[in-house]
Amino acid sequence: MRLLHTMLRVGNLDRALMFYTDILGMRLLRQKDYPDGRFTLAFVGYQDEADGAVLELTHNWDTENYDLGNGYGHIAIEVEDAYDACARIKAKGGHVVREAGPMKHGSTVIAFVEDPDGYKIELIQRGTRAD
């Protein structure tokens, strides 16, 4: 078995694709409209689906936003330099909600950014994880 993808519902597919591709540097791997169901699926990631897990962005044509609830946590992405990643994300118009720095109760360097739909993405600096 292997993890294939994580699905996120997005209110505006173009805005979400711009964030994940232009700001976070993922690639659009495939996209398909389902007119009878009134939804579109777009798969994005850093590698091909055969090589690792990706994100499925689901856009239901008649829904502009979602209540994220309190059960969802975040997606984690490993980066070379969390400080530099935050600077690049901000320069491209991304929203950093927790600047890069060590965890409160540890030495792992992390940061958090937020996508246009409010989903949190944790950036973890390579080589600093203590666990």
Active site residues: 122
The token pair at 104 is: 């409160």
For 8, phi and psi rounded to 5 degrees?
-120, 135
d(CA 18, CA 24): 9
Contact 56, 5 (CB under 8 A): yes
Helix ranges restricted to H, the chain: 13-17, 82-91
**Amino acid (one-letter) located at 87:** A
